[in-house]
Chain A
Amino acid sequence: MADRELTFEIFRYNPQKPEIKPYMQTYKLKETPGMTIFVALNQIREEQDPSLMFDFVCRAAICGSCAMIINGRPKLACKTLTNTLPSKIKLFPLPVFKLIGDLSVDTGTWFRHLSLKTEAWVHTSKTFDPKAQEERMDNETALRIYEAERCIECGCCIAGCATANIRDEFLGAAGINRVARFMIDPRDERTPAEYFEVVGCEEGAFGCMGLMACDDNCPMELPLQMQLAYVRRKMAAYGLGYKATQGVKLA
């Protein structure tokens, strides 16, 4: 692997210059130890082509900014080491999301829309009392919420999802996981009926074709398949008229 010369083929298109049609551009780069796609793209921008557009923020797989299609699969560019790839590397922007330019896509707008649509916040009738001790929570419950909360909204599950690619309003795995996060949370007072409104439809839990690319592609290794099954089970139970044995909580 030492002293490889890498050949990058990168998708280029600037929507501000529509007269230039999309094309692939080739860059060559000497591989260095520990090189990631983050290191490589910055080197290309600084030394070869300062117009190249791509997104990085944390460069540590925490912020979810840098997902792109790397040799055919959606991945986080910051945590993709070049030594795990052949010497020819093809980069495309994520599909589904609106293109900003080259490898940069607008995931922010998409995910804000998702949050609004699923009302992804804790629905509570309680108001905060600054003088009161906090309400107790079982640590296991806190950890279960956190497990679903770990999603970084990078868009890899959406980009690799057949349904999301053909159905505009499909919530995708990230959306269904987000809903599961609030279903698990005892602070959220929403009833099964209210959740059914959000995910009990073809745009939600029942639109999934079960190909499970989301589960394979998730860089956070979230149990997306389990979360989907959980939400479907709850929604099916509600839809078929099963009564929850105690209270209205689903978890």
Chain B
Amino acid sequence: MSRYQTHITDVLVIGAGLAGERVAIEAATHGLDVTILSLVPPRRSHSTAAQGGMQASLGNCAMGEGDNPDIHFADTVKGSDWGCDQDVARLFVETAPIAVREMAVWGVPWSRVVAGKRTLPDGRVIEEKKEKEGLITARDFGGTAKWRTCYTADGTGHTLQYTMDSIVIKMGITVHDRTEAISLIHDGERCFGTVARCLRTGELRAYIAKSTVICTGGYGRLYSASTNAVINEGSGMFLALDTGVVPLGNMEAVQFHPTGMVPVWILITEGARGDGGYLLDKNLHRFMPDYEPKKKELASRDVVSRRMTEHIRKGYGVESPYGPHLWLDIRHLGAKHINTNLREIANICRNFAGIDPVKDLIPVRPTQHYSMGGVRTNIDGAAYGLKGLFAAGEAACWDLHGFNRLGGNSLAETVTAGRIIGKKVAEYTLGASLTFNPELVEDAVKKQENRIKGLINGWHGKENVYELRNLMQQNLMDYVGIFRNGKDLQKAVSNLQELYHRSHKIGLRSSGVGANPELAQALRLPGMIRLALCISYGALVRTESRGSHFREDYPKRDDVNWLKRTLAYWPEGADLPELKYEPVKITELPPGDRGYGESSAGSEGGKNG
């Protein structure tokens, strides 16, 4: 098994979603040789599932009039509960409109302004101006002061990814799909590439590069109920963590989407509420105005998710075999609107739950949705701790989202950060030389070979990989969810530590030959549990509430002690991360009230009085 292929490239991008492909295009534009590795063909990436849209302050539509990067900036910073780096947010909001327009030139069929009057579902009449006709329009999304979310009907992520991939193909960029990076090659100071496993044949390969960029998306599948695709297991994050020198930022910041459909947890996009959908309880009462009279269903995601959970806890949930849920009601929008503008939602309801949203209510519940945390980088996307390692998109903690991401800012981050960071990657790579120690590569491959042999032969034990994974998912769901408290978090940490030790004793039940799926899962699981521990331990230690991180025993934001970012390191041989902290960059907007009608704003010490 000691024979392996070696590939040498200038820039190695791990992950072919929107962020990865955008970085690759930028680097290739600078004349560099680029290779992209991807678990799946690029057009199958999870980016395609983002239906809603991307935020950019073009200000073309009537309800977006007067919009500009400053307002987008304020929305983003407030949304983050002041947890983001404001220099990053500023760079992002200034670049987002350019990124949208660039995608238009490349082929995205953005929905456009149609002049004339129309009546909104809430009765307001708006008029789109003749002089704006044909420009890129926008829709409403939670947590924004203006309508700013650019979209293509109901398939924004899909059209962005297909367009982006068309440019990758046009430029002849090398893509090795069905290839999984399983460890980084590094010497503690510099990253030299990755050891990867071919998911067609099971063979190992070494990829050696001047720069390596992690664009592997989020870790939703660490939770048992997640809107994420099944490939979103946080692999790039634990590869970086495993080096011992690269920290993950704010892993405790986990976003729940208010409306995952019971019981398959497929996302029902914010567009449903943006277009005027209501949330109802078991008495068919529209309860959100009771909690959030101003924003109602369109408060930011963390607020809506919490209010829903609170309402369910009060006994207003609808009982079902899958636990209590609430209803999403879009019936009043009418068959025409539902079957065109919200067609994807209608299809999801019909195909995966056998219900028709034109006449039926949709069962929904808050579901894990987005990972704000990730590989900590600077504003250039360069990872802390290792030269030549970068990260972009959901896999990174850039840090644009702080403790809560606004709807429409994730797609926007992928193409905008990809554009910005791709340029920085190119600059770095053009100035770097290819030097590597062949023994280092050999050792890195050997190490993975030995892991694989151990798993196949059951050298260390016979633990069942799926059983351990399910226990990990359940622990995070039950104890590290929307409402958190010290007791539950401690339980999660202890349980996960035990699971972590057991994960070193996994033995395969199948042969492990070829593209064996059990082996792939077994190789990932210890890393996934390390991420789970970073999330729960970070949440346990952070004794305040901020954005999506809500502690029942510390319900207030505590700017005196906690206006800072968690950095989780994993020292060799440890069974808990080592936590360090750094200040967040506040350049323009000092901490204040988020204006969501909730009581999270500043206090001295967050302890519940």
Residues of A within 8 A of B (CB): 14-17, 33-34, 36, 45-47, 49-53, 55-65, 79, 81, 100-101, 104, 106-109, 111-112, 115-116, 119-122, 124, 126, 128, 130, 132-139, 141-143, 145-146, 149-150, 152-153, 185, 187
Verify B177–A146 contact, CB threshold 8 A: no
Cβ contacts A to B, 13 pairs, < 8 Å: A33-B321, A36-B352, A46-B466, A49-B510, A53-B515, A53-B517, A60-B264, A62-B49, A101-B515, A106-B178, A119-B170, A130-B102, A152-B43
Complex interface: chain A residues within 8 A of B104 (CB): 134-135
Complexed CA–CA distance, A184 and B389 (Å): 42
Contact partner of A45 (CB less than 8 A), chosen from B43, B49, B102, B517, is B517
Verify B230–A52 contact, CB threshold 8 A: no
Verify A143–B515 contact, CB threshold 8 A: no
With A17-B514, A49-B510, A108-B40 as contacts: A115 and B348 at CB distance below 8 Å: no
A-B contact count (CB 8 A): 197
Residues of B within 8 A of A (CB): 40-46, 48-49, 58, 98, 100-102, 104-107, 109-114, 133-137, 152-153, 155, 158-159, 162, 165-167, 169-170, 175, 177-178, 200-202, 229-231, 263-264, 266-267, 321, 344, 347-348, 351-354, 465-466, 508-511, 513-518
Verify A142–B111 contact, CB threshold 8 A: yes
With A57-B231, A122-B107, A146-B153 as contacts: A63 and B517 at CB distance below 8 Å: no
With A14-B514, A130-B102, A136-B133 as contacts: A149 and B109 at CB distance below 8 Å: yes
Contact partner of A128 (CB less than 8 A), chosen from B42, B102, B508, B514, is B102
Complex interface: chain A residues within 8 A of B167 (CB): 121
Verify A16–B155 contact, CB threshold 8 A: no
Complex interface: chain B residues within 8 A of A130 (CB): 98, 101-102
Complex interface: chain A residues within 8 A of B112 (CB): 136-139, 142
Complexed CA–CA distance, A142 and B109 (Å): 5
Contact partner of A108 (CB less than 8 A), chosen from B44, B49, B511, is B44
Complex interface: chain B residues within 8 A of A57 (CB): 40, 44-46, 229-231
Complexed CA–CA distance, A25 and B590 (Å): 64
B17 to chain A, nearest CB (A): 11
Return the chain A residue nearest B40 by Cβ: A57
Verify A56–B230 contact, CB threshold 8 A: yes
B509 to chain A, nearest CB (A): 5
With A50-B508, A112-B41, A116-B169 as contacts: A187 and B107 at CB distance below 8 Å: yes
Complexed CA–CA distance, A47 and B49 (Å): 29
Complex interface: chain A residues within 8 A of B177 (CB): 108-109
Contact partner of B105 (CB less than 8 A), chosen from A34, A52, A128, A143, is A128
Complexed CA–CA distance, A80 and B344 (Å): 16
Complexed CA–CA distance, A51 and B43 (Å): 26
Complexed CA–CA distance, A128 and B58 (Å): 17
Complexed CA–CA distance, A231 and B348 (Å): 31
Complex interface: chain A residues within 8 A of B175 (CB): 112
Verify A59–B229 contact, CB threshold 8 A: yes
Verify A124–B105 contact, CB threshold 8 A: yes
Complexed CA–CA distance, A152 and B161 (Å): 11
Verify B166–A81 contact, CB threshold 8 A: no
Verify A106–B109 contact, CB threshold 8 A: no
Contact partner of A153 (CB less than 8 A), chosen from B43, B133, B152, B166, is B43
Verify A65–B134 contact, CB threshold 8 A: no
Verify B347–A61 contact, CB threshold 8 A: yes
Verify A108–B41 contact, CB threshold 8 A: yes
Verify B201–A137 contact, CB threshold 8 A: no
Verify B509–A128 contact, CB threshold 8 A: no
Complexed CA–CA distance, A71 and B100 (Å): 44
Complexed CA–CA distance, A204 and B296 (Å): 53
Contact partner of A60 (CB less than 8 A), chosen from B136, B169, B348, is B348
Verify B134–A59 contact, CB threshold 8 A: no
Complexed CA–CA distance, A14 and B516 (Å): 9
Verify A108–B178 contact, CB threshold 8 A: yes
Complex interface: chain A residues within 8 A of B169 (CB): 112, 115-116, 120-121
A55 to chain B, nearest CB (A): 8
Complexed CA–CA distance, A65 and B264 (Å): 17
Verify B136–A134 contact, CB threshold 8 A: yes
Complex interface: chain B residues within 8 A of A153 (CB): 43
A1 to chain B, nearest CB (A): 12
Verify A126–B517 contact, CB threshold 8 A: no
Complex interface: chain B residues within 8 A of A187 (CB): 105, 107
Complexed CA–CA distance, A100 and B518 (Å): 16
With A61-B347, A142-B110 as contacts: A79 and B352 at CB distance below 8 Å: yes
Verify B49–A63 contact, CB threshold 8 A: yes
With A34-B353, A58-B49 as contacts: A65 and B515 at CB distance below 8 Å: no
With A17-B514, A50-B518 as contacts: A136 and B134 at CB distance below 8 Å: yes
Complexed CA–CA distance, A37 and B244 (Å): 41
Complexed CA–CA distance, A109 and B178 (Å): 10
Verify B510–A62 contact, CB threshold 8 A: no
Complex interface: chain A residues within 8 A of B45 (CB): 57, 63
Complex interface: chain B residues within 8 A of A107 (CB): 41
With A16-B514, A146-B159 as contacts: A34 and B134 at CB distance below 8 Å: no
Complex interface: chain A residues within 8 A of B263 (CB): 34
Determine which residue in A106, A134, A145 has the highest number of CB atoms from chain B within 10 A of its CB, and name it. Answer: A134
Complexed CA–CA distance, A51 and B162 (Å): 32
Complex interface: chain B residues within 8 A of A61 (CB): 347-348, 351-352
Complexed CA–CA distance, A84 and B231 (Å): 27
B138 to chain A, nearest CB (A): 13
9 residue pairs, one from A and one from B, having the closest CB atoms: A108-B41, A136-B134, A16-B514, A51-B510, A50-B518, A121-B166, A145-B109, A139-B112, A122-B107
Verify A149–B48 contact, CB threshold 8 A: no
Verify B41–A16 contact, CB threshold 8 A: no
Verify A34–B229 contact, CB threshold 8 A: no
Complexed CA–CA distance, A107 and B550 (Å): 43
Complexed CA–CA distance, A27 and B469 (Å): 23
Complex interface: chain B residues within 8 A of A139 (CB): 111-114, 134, 137
Verify B44–A65 contact, CB threshold 8 A: yes
Return the chain B residue nearest A76 by Cβ: B351
Determine which residue in A14, A57, A137 has the highest number of CB atoms from chain B within 10 A of its CB, and name it. Answer: A57
With A34-B263, A121-B169 as contacts: A17 and B513 at CB distance below 8 Å: yes
Contact partner of A121 (CB less than 8 A), chosen from B170, B230, B344, B508, is B170
Complex interface: chain B residues within 8 A of A56 (CB): 230
Complex interface: chain B residues within 8 A of A101 (CB): 514-515
Complexed CA–CA distance, A57 and B107 (Å): 25
Verify A16–B170 contact, CB threshold 8 A: no
List 10 other contacts, CB 8 Å, given A63-B46, A111-B41, A121-B170: A16-B515, A58-B46, A59-B264, A100-B515, A121-B107, A130-B98, A135-B105, A137-B134, A139-B137, A149-B162
